[in-house]
């Protein structure tokens, strides 16, 4: 029998190495399975090593707004300022946006689709997002030209912007002023998505003139835009343009509400570690054939090393 001492024990790996490994796991696994393996793994997923990239976009699409806010705050605090990518959908308050801006000094990629943030808060906070290079504010109906002008003035490193909208979201309301804000304040853009934005041909030409480094332009659903293909090929040979006459998934019925709330419960123990006494309750509550419609989420923000002890709806760890 070979001497087992020659093999490195997984629980002895340094936290940053464990973090690189755990970063490839799903949100569910990092929050409910890994912490139960051993104390060192629990400490690793409670620290910043696993949370330099936070992607809860899919999870947040099926969650109540208050739960999204609590989850976001917990994960951002775990990242300890090392976060460089954040994806979340349905951020419902200016306070949540303010919190993430104040605690993400090295953020580079930010996706806030379907969020309820306002022009005024973007104007106040955009100065804290100076490191952002890619921004997605698609389907955010409460912001307009003021927000994009502020973003352009403060986010000088911005090279990618998504501002896709729902079909006919604002009826006959023109969004030409948004096109003007992009054209005059974002000269380094290389990728721009503005599907279903209510803009004119003149607005697009202003963008092309003001953003000379543009390589990709998504105009799907911008029905009022008429561009001469030969003109584009001659003046902008490196530019790839999509649309406006393209039918795609944006034409789906967005009024249907088929989402269900994902069941969660956050409970922190006194020492921030997993409590084995909760195993039986997890087994009793798990039902593989359905999702629970309601849940109670409790999260005590004062516990820095908090981890999940109970969860409705997910398989318990082995």
What's the pLDDT score for residue 302? 30
Bridge partner residues of 162 (DSSP): 136, 193
Instruction: Read off the pTM.
Output: 0.72
CB-count burial class (<10 Å; 0-12, 13-18, 19+) for 279: middle
- Tokens at 214, concatenated: 């543009």
- Tokens at 138, concatenated: 């698609």
- Look at the block and give the residue holding tokens 């944006």: 250
Per the omega criterion (within 30 degrees of 0), is the bond before 294 cis? Answer: no
Inter-residue contact 195 to 161 (CB < 8 Å): no
Report the distance separating Cα 98 and Cα 93, nearest Å: 9
> Nearest-CA neighbor of 296 among 264, 261, 274, 262?
264
| Parts of the chain with a pLDDT under 50 | 1, 248-318
What's the pLDDT score for residue 318? 41
Task: Say how many C-beta atoms besides its own lie within 10 A of residue 176's C-beta.
Answer: 16
> Nearest-CA neighbor of 123 among 94, 85, 103, 99?
94
> Nearest-CA neighbor of 55 among 40, 71, 41?
71
Per the omega criterion (within 30 degrees of 0), is the bond before 244 cis? Answer: yes
Inter-residue contact 133 to 157 (CB < 8 Å): yes
- Look at the block and give the residue holding tokens 């849940």: 295
Degrees to nearest 5, angle at CA 194 with 190 and 195: 130
Q: What is the DSSP letter of 160?
A: E
Report the distance separating Cα 313 and Cα 293, nearest Å: 10
Report the distance separating Cα 225 and Cα 218, nearest Å: 12
Starting at the edge strand found earlier in the chain, the sheet holding 109-111 runs: 53-55, 85-87, 109-111, 134-136, 160-162, 191-193, 216-218, 240-242
What's the pLDDT score for residue 131? 95
Report the distance separating Cα 107 and Cα 134, nearest Å: 10
- Look at the block and give the residue holding tokens 């569910």: 28
Task: Say how many C-beta atoms besides its own lie within 10 A of residue 55's C-beta.
Answer: 15
Q: How far is CA 135 from CA 41, 138, 186, 192, in A?
A: 33, 9, 12, 10
Q: Sign of the CA dihedral 257, 258, 263, 266? A: negative
């Amino acid at each position: 029998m070979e001497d087992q001492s020659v093999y490195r024990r997984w629980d002895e790996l340094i936290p940053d190495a464990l973090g690189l490994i755990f970063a490839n796991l799903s949100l569910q696994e990092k929050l409910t399975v890994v912490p139960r393996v051993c104390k060192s793994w629990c400490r690793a997923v409670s620290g910043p090593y696993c949370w330099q990239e936070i992607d809860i976009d899919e999870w947040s699409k099926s969650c109540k707004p208050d739960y999204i806010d609590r989850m976001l705050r917990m994960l951002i605090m775990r990242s300890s300022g090392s976060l460089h990518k954040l994806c979340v959908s349905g951020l419902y308050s200016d306070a949540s946006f303010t919190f993430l801006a104040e605690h993400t000094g090295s953020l580079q990629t930010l996706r806030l689709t379907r969020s309820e943030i306002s022009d005024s808060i973007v104007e106040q906070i955009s100065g804290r997002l100076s490191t952002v290079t890619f921004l997605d504010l698609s389907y955010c109906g409460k912001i307009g030209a003021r927000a994009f002008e502020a973003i352009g003035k403060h986010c000088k490193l911005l090279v990618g912007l998504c501002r896709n909208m729902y079909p006919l979201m604002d009826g006959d309301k023109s969004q030409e002023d948004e096109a003007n804000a992009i054209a005059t304040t974002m000269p380094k853009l290389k990728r721009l998505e503005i599907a279903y934005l209510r803009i004119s041909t003149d607005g697009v030409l202003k963008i092309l003139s003001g953003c000379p480094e543009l390589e990709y332009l998504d105009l799907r659903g911008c029905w009022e835009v008429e561009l001469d293909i030969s003109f584009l090929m001659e003046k902008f040979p490196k530019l790839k343009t999509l649309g406006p006459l393209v039918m795609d998934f944006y034409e789906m019925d967005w009024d249907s509400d088929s989402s269900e709330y994902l069941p969660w419960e956050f409970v922190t123990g006194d020492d921030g570690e997993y409590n084995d006494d909760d195993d039986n309750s997890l087994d009793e509550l798990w039902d593989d054939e359905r999702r629970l419609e309601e849940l109670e989420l409790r999260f005590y923000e004062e516990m820095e090393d908090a981890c999940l002890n109970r969860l409705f709806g997910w398989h318990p760890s082995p």
